[in-house]
Amino acid sequence: MFKIKSMTLEVLKPSELQTIELLRALEKVPNATRVEISLTDFERNTETLKVIVEGQGVNPDKLAKVIHDYGGVVQNIQHVLGER
C-alpha cells in the first residue's frame, strides 16, 4: 500500500488567522516532517494558500481536520505523491 509522502493543497483561510499559527498547527499532523505555505491570493477577509506537506504516511483526513479546526477549508488537492 502506498504511503502519502507529499500533498499540495489549496486552502482558504480567514485573514485574521496568521499563517505562522497555521504552520504551527500543522506540525501536529502525525508523520508530517515538512510544511511549506505560500500566499497565492488575498481578498478583504480571506487568503488563499498553497500548502505543501511532506512526510512518510501523512494522513489526509487528519491534515484536513487540523486546517478546519483553525478556520480554514481545503478547496482542492493539487498534487499527491505516494510511495511504498
Is the CATH code 3.40.50.300 the one for domain 3-83? no
- 43 sits in which H/E element: none
Domain-wise residue ranges, the chain:
3-83
**Per-residue pLDDT in tens (0 to 9) along the chain, 84 residues:** 899 999 999 999 999 999 999 999 999 899 999 999 999 999 999 999 999 999 999 999 999 999 999 999 999 999 999 998
C-alpha cell at 73: 477549508
| Phi–psi pair at 30, nearest 5 degrees | -55, 140
Q: How far apart are CA 17 and CA 15, in angstroms?
A: 5
pTM for this predicted structure:
0.93
The region, left, alpha or beta by phi > 0 then psi within -120 to 50, assigned to residue 28 is: alpha
pLDDT at 1 (0 to 100)? 86
